[in-house]
Structure 1
Amino acid sequence: MTMTFTETTLVKDIVNEQPKTSDVFKRYRIDFCCGGNIPLSKAAADLSVDMDKLMSDLHEVYIKEENNKDDMAVWTNSSSEEIIKHISEHYHATTLDELAQLSPYVTKVSKVHGDSHPELLKVYELFYEFKKEMIEHTAKEEEVVFPMLKKLEDPTLENRHEIVNYITELEKEHDHVGEILRQLREITSDYELPLDACGTYTLVYKRLEALEGFTFMHVHLENNILFPRYLG
């Protein structure tokens, strides 16, 4: 992804184009929500923020998001060890980081706008259920399942049937996660923003929708490429 903003671009427009830049603005205490209708240069000047450093940090977000794009065709011919490493570094680490970063925004929006938009209370509930599920799920894969899969590369290993039970369990968890995401999409009317949505409201919906797509690719890589290798 190429940076399409300059020092004169409005802060809110930068966040609208790449929602994860909100983390950078939050770190610098730059108001991207109600006060986001000002050029980036003015926002930096008002808070005596180093403009070069700010631009560098924003650029880093763009590069990271570009690198997060995945080509599934590459992995069909890769070794299981390579796929496991990719899932751990690319999907697990990124998902856990995004859940941590997104949590305060979801909480804030539900508290501020929950009275006038009660669906946000359900969004809050579903998001934290999803977060809990993914934290536990990734930990199980990292600590138990992935080490077992690596051992199964040895054709002489006994008790190979044990991994089938784990894979079946993981696939059920994938189904549960998918149902949570389905409910989130339903309760938000396909992430359609109301007319009175503020900047934080907008970025929550955009980042939730992006998280949905990222999770589907994560599950696809496991369910359709990695796990079938051990179910034959």
Structure 2
Amino acid sequence: MIDIHTKIEDVVKVDSNMIGFFNKEKIDFCCNGYMTIADVAKEKNIDPIILVRKIQDKLDTSNSKEKEIIDLDDFKELRVGEMIDSILIDHHEKERNLLFEIDPLLNKILSVHFEHHGGDLIMLHSLFASLKKELEEHFIKEEKITFPLMLENEYPTKDLIREVEALEADHEKAGDLIKEMIELTDWFKAPKDACGTYIHTFDLLEELVKDVFVHIFKENSIMFEKYRGNGGK
């Protein structure tokens, strides 16, 4: 059972199906997963008891057919070194490929559909460029600095904890950019006159941001928490 003091990240840890629910409700389960249901309700100006009931109802009706393809249960059982390998393979590589694929497509639809959708597409193009820069630089910091230090130091030092906190700050910046993109596009819904390329680009953007959300959740709420708590054991 959950209550108003339950953290959003703890709901996702219990059932990864809730990721889709929280995305739909525009509840941040990754960067702000530490927030309680009461905190979220206050932010959204709704009754916390109603939100608890809504979340509990979703948990009660959750089933395997709805389950997202997310290996959170398996991930939680890994050692920190194995978690790092999983992050690099399952998220860094995938997100780099998506960024590379989306970039020219977004430029293309900006040019072709500028007359009717130029305002929104220019804003989306700018947000995507900022997100691409943020993620690519973040990947390098993780791969070249923080992850190697974590692997070399089973028990976290104060300096290493500060490195981890810097990565969490990066996550928040990326999350804020994604929230703006979602708000601008109403969760990447292409306009009625959109061509196939337009629709495909928005589908890829949605795939990217969903993967980034899971990526951030795994790091903030599972891997970094484990590293801080027990020295990576």
TM-score, normalised by the number of residues in structure 2: 0.66
For 2:221, the aligned partner's letter is N
Contact 2:80 2:227 in 1 (8 A): no
SS at match of 1:138: helix
For 1:121, the aligned partner's letter is I
SS at match of 2:115: coil
What CA distance in whole angstroms lies between the structure 1 residues aligned with 2:186 and 2:132? 21
Q: Which residue of 2 aligns with 1:121?
A: 122
Q: Which residue of 1 aligns with 2:217?
A: 220
What CA distance in whole angstroms lies between the structure 1 residues aligned with 2:210 and 2:187? 13
Q: Which residue of 1 aligns with 2:161?
A: 164
Contact 1:164 1:230 in 2 (8 A): no
Offset of residue 116 of structure 1: 1.1
Offset of residue 199 of structure 1: 0.4
Q: Which residue of 2 aligns with 1:77?
A: 77
Q: Which residue of 2 aligns with 1:49?
A: none
Alignment: residue pair count: 161
Trace 1:152-231 onto structure 2 (pairs within 5 A). Answer: 152-153=153-154, 155=155, 160-231=157-228
Compare the two structures and name the one with the higher helix fraction.
2
What CA distance in whole angstroms lies between the structure 2 residues aligned with 1:220 and 1:195? 33
Offset of residue 180 of structure 1: 0.6
For structure 2, the 5+ residue unaligned runs are 1-67
Residue identity (%): 30
Contact 1:145 1:163 in 2 (8 A): yes
Offset of residue 70 of structure 1: 2.9
Q: CA RMSD in A?
A: 1.5
Offset of residue 69 of structure 1: 4.0
What CA distance in whole angstroms lies between the structure 1 residues aligned with 2:70 and 2:171? 19
SS at match of 2:116: coil
TM-score, normalised by the number of residues in structure 1: 0.67
Offset of residue 231 of structure 1: 2.7
What CA distance in whole angstroms lies between the structure 2 residues aligned with 1:190 and 1:80? 33
SS at match of 2:191: coil
Q: Which residue of 2 aligns with 1:43?
A: none
4+ residue segments displaced more than 4 Å: none
